[in-house]
Amino acid sequence: MESGPQRLPAGPEAAVRAAAVLAGGGLVALPTETVYGLGADATSGAAVASIYALKQRPQFNPLIAHVASLAAAQHEGVFNADALALAQAFWPGPLTLVVPVALKGSVSDLARAGLDSIGLRVPAHPAALAILEAFGKPVAAPSANRSGRISPTTADHVARDLGSGVGLIVDGGPCEIGVESTIVACLDGPPVILRPGGVSRADIERVLGKQIGEPAAEQAENAVLAPGMLPSHYAPRAKVRMNAVAVKPGEAVLDFHGRIGDDDDNAIAYLDLSSGGSLMEAAANLFAFLHRLDASGATTIAVAPVPQEGLGEAINDRLTRAAAPREG
Ligand code: TXA
Ligand code: MG
């Protein structure tokens, strides 16, 4: 019998079941006060990769890591005075803080899209909090809709849009807020609103005791708002040679599906994104493998062709940026 995803009303049983699905690497649609989120274990690259796959996101936008408390958030990110004041004023609630990632943080590279900052939020919906407490680890959750579609504010929206790809839908009724959280970056400079949302600018300014700016157009385009658009952002130290089919002397190899192979032991270092040819596995491995090959000391990383389908589009987008000529 063809059946949709399992669906449970919010409550203690749903929280326990959701935590089990998350622990198994599965996806849980969960209600928050803003919109329904598509949640996965934020510490697992593979689980996070399946979010991108199900949403059919063309790119690895960084995801918000949801946690149960300010203390849990401070394990993942570094809070300056502004971030602390905002968290204390608005958490739990519809505010996401982008802060520098903590050294001891547990959230996967893929969830952060390889950035050295992290978006953190403590949601106010009791069902979301119950799931986060039962699971005990950060949950990466974008809105539970396919890329380009309208954000879901009921369990029915989620079921219609994402159907059977979700392990469990927790039905907490319609979302109270219905627009996504306000995103405030508290990084080096003055705080900046990256996305208007559930907490008003006026309320944020009242807590901070100062006016806060929109991101400067230049900064928005080049740095924080669109991190994936910065050409050299994902670039390793080594040069990147795309569409390689054989290894040259002095190169490290980033293979896919054994295309280049390492029979002759010619490569300085060799890693296969997915020897079985899984694009989800490849996405989960991508950033970590680039780091490791760069550390091998090779002057060039030869990259095998990756199919331009499904998550391959996002993988190729990142690899192309890594290969792009850079300044300095
Ligand atoms: O209300 C919400 O925020 C909902 C619920 C589910 O919590 N989530 C949500 O997630 O709207 P999403 O993925 O649709 O939007 C997350 C936004 C993206 O625009 C992303 O670029 C930004 O957060 N973001 C996350 N981490 C970031 C970071 N380190 N730097 C800059 N932007 C970041
Ligand atoms: Mg969204």
3-state secondary structure (DSSP) of residue 253: strand
164 and 249 within one domain: no
- Residue having the nearest C-alpha atom to atom 9 of ligand 1: 142
Pocket of ligand 1 (CB under 6 A): 32, 34-35, 37, 61-64, 94, 96, 98, 112, 115, 117-119, 121, 123, 141-143, 180-181, 183, 194-195, 224, 227
**CATH classification at residue 309:** 3.40.50.11030
Q: Which of 120, 118, 98, 110 is nearest to 60 (CA)?
A: 110
- Ligand nearest to the backbone CA of 146: 2
Q: What is the pLDDT along the chain (328 residues), one digit of tens a residue?
A: 445 689 999 999 999 999 999 999 999 999 999 999 999 999 999 999 999 999 887 677 899 999 999 999 999 999 999 999 999 999 999 999 999 999 999 999 999 998 999 999 999 999 999 999 999 999 999 999 887 777 788 999 899 889 888 999 999 999 888 878 989 999 988 999 888 888 888 899 999 999 987 665 445 444 444 444 444 445 678 899 999 999 998 899 999 999 999 877 789 999 999 999 998 888 778 877 888 898 899 999 999 999 988 778 778 877 887 888 764 4
Q: Range of 103's domain?
A: 6-229
The structural domain count of the chain equals 2
In a domain, 295, yes or no: yes
- Structure tokens of 260? 């280049």
- Which among 205, 229, 253 is the end of a domain? 229
Sign, CA dihedral 100-105-111-115, equals positive
Out of 33, 55, 57, 64, mutate this one to test ligand 1's pocket (max ligand atoms within 8 Å of CB): namely 64
Out of 96, 117, 151, 225, mutate this one to test ligand 1's pocket (max ligand atoms within 8 Å of CB): namely 96
- Does this model's pTM top 0.90? My answer is no
247 and 225 within one domain: no
Q: Angle, to 10 degrees, between the axis of helix 126-135 and the axis of helix 12-23?
A: 50
**CATH classification at residue 195:** 3.90.870.10
Per DSSP, which regions of 168-274 are E strands? 168-171, 182-185, 192-195, 239-241, 251-255, 270-272
221 and 246 within one domain: no
For ion ligand 2, residues whose CB falls within 5 Å: 143
219 and 282 within one domain: no
- Ligand nearest to the backbone CA of 181: 1
Would you give the end-to-end CA distance of the chain in angstroms?
60
The CA R_g of the chain, rounded to the nearest whole Å, is 20
